[in-house]
Amino acid sequence: MTDTIAYPAAYPAPKDWILGIHAYVPGKAAADDGRPLVKLSANENPLGTSQAARDAFMTAAADMATYPDPAAAKLREAIGAKHGLDPARIIYGTGSDELLHLAASGYAGPGDEILYVRYGFAVYDIAARRVGATPVIAPDKDYATDVDALLAAVTERTKVVFLANPNNPTGTMTSRAEIARLHAGLRPDILFVLDQAYAEYLDEDEDDGGLALARDASNVFVTRTFSKIYGLAAERIGWGYGSPEVIDILHRIRAPFNVTTVGQAAAIAAIGDDDWVARSRTHNNQWREWLAGEVASLSNHGLRAIPSKTNFLLILFEGKLTAEAAMKGLWDEGFATRWLPGQGLPNGLRITIGTEEQTRAVAAKLRAMAEAA
Ligand code: PMP
């Protein structure tokens, strides 16, 4: 958007580096002609929100006139109890997005570098540029994180390393051993931000060890969100865990009342509803693997799904059917998906795992389009 506005020579003059930012493009909920679509473009929970969380939200909504608890004390206690963490070392944000920005703001500025892997989460570029730091992109290894490439890209100026695990938009997972190796290779004065927005979709034995690493190391900050498996994307609640020093720095710069009363109440209830989370995970993982199998059966038409540990699949179109045509064809079936030319993936379409009916319909349309192309 900013690209299309001509700024006059005189003021108010934005910072140069802000002009280098391309605003985040949210997942679509409508076709180009405005037709509303089922949103498989933002990795939300297709099952919705747990009843317990909805009830807690409604009860908390009775009080709208007073500010929310600025310390989010009960929320931190609930998160701490769930994960065995010291609540004093937990911070909360308006979505985990805010926490990513806080990490960049607290530790990097003009002249510094912020490092992440190619096809990393789109907000890392914005977070780096927003503070005037230089984004540095390390090459991937077949769409997954290449720890050696990341370590090779570290310079004296590197201040922050962002890594989403599992990653969006690729869905790929970096193993616990590789995360430990990456951390061991980083200087202690570099903040390692491990973004675990999709961690709740993993089985226990797939844990990347990030929270344990952050418990013991002073330079690791782990972020999580209530927007994905907990079905609370509308409430904008994220949380982060790190050393007392990191948490102190980030508290200094977060917005004063950055998580709402209803959001805090809903999140506390959501984190206590284990059945809902388990049901959401089971549903997701079953239909993700089913859809991956369908895509694999279209490999002779040039379709390939990157192995995913998240609630979405990145499908590459390397045959006659293009990702753009597939996206448009899916509009006709009523589905919004995420085409990714802006993230260097013009042949990639990211599709959130929906309900069974939605997933079957998506697969059927992909098959029809691939076979007709
Ligand atoms: N990290 C990753 C990897 C994500 O995919 C997202 C959401 N798309 C976020 C962070 C931010 O999520 P939220 O602000 O809703 O917590």
| pTM higher than the cut 0.85 | yes
Question: What is the rounded distance in angstroms from the CA atom of residue 239 to the CA atom of residue 231?
Answer: 15
pLDDT, position 296: 98
The amino acid at residue 82 is K
The answer to whether the beta carbons of residues 233 and 42 sit under 8 Å apart is yes
Closest CA to 309 of 177, 151, 144, 161: 144
Ligand 1 proximity of 98 Cβ (cutoff 6 Å): no
Q: Across-strand partners of 119?
A: none
Closest CA to 92 of 84, 102, 82: 102
Ligand 1 proximity of 348 Cβ (cutoff 6 Å): no
The answer to whether the beta carbons of residues 162 and 100 sit under 8 Å apart is yes
CA of 198 to the centre of ligand 1 (A): 8
Beta strands 303-305; 237-241: pairing state: unpaired
Question: What is the rounded distance in angstroms from the CA atom of residue 166 to the CA atom of residue 284?
Answer: 15
Q: Whose CA is nearest to atom 4 of ligand 1?
A: 197
Sign of CA dihedral 13, 15, 20, 21: negative
Helix segments in the chain, DSSP class H: 51-60, 73-83, 95-107, 123-130, 147-152, 176-185, 210-216, 244-253, 261-272, 274-296, 323-332, 356-372
Ligand 1 proximity of 121 Cβ (cutoff 6 Å): yes
Same fold, 16-43+276-367 and 51-273: no
Give the number of the atom of ligand 1 that is nearest the alpha carbon of residue 227: 15
Q: List the domain boundaries for the chain.
A: 16-43+276-367, 51-273
pLDDT, position 4: 65
Give the number of the atom of ligand 1 that is nearest the alpha carbon of residue 164: 3
238-270 per-position pLDDT tens digit: 999 999 999 999 999 999 999 999 999 999 999
Closest CA to 235 of 201, 259, 199: 259
Ligand 1 proximity of 225 Cβ (cutoff 6 Å): yes
Give the number of the atom of ligand 1 that is nearest the alpha carbon of residue 100: 10
Ligand 1 proximity of 107 Cβ (cutoff 6 Å): no
Fold classification of 51-273 is: Aspartate Aminotransferase; domain 2 (3.40.640)
Ligand 1 proximity of 97 Cβ (cutoff 6 Å): yes
CA of 301 to the centre of ligand 1 (A): 32
The ranges of the chain with pLDDT < 50 are: 1-2
Ligand 1 proximity of 170 Cβ (cutoff 6 Å): no
The answer to whether the beta carbons of residues 142 and 165 sit under 8 Å apart is no
- Cα 147 vs. chain centroid, distance in angstroms? 20
CA of 197 to the centre of ligand 1 (A): 6
Question: What is the rounded distance in angstroms from the CA atom of residue 323 to the CA atom of residue 315?
Answer: 8
pLDDT, position 1: 42
Ligand 1 proximity of 195 Cβ (cutoff 6 Å): yes
Q: Across-strand partners of 335?
A: 38
Superfamily of domain 16-43+276-367: Aspartate Aminotransferase, domain 1 (3.90.1150.10)
CA of 96 to the centre of ligand 1 (A): 6
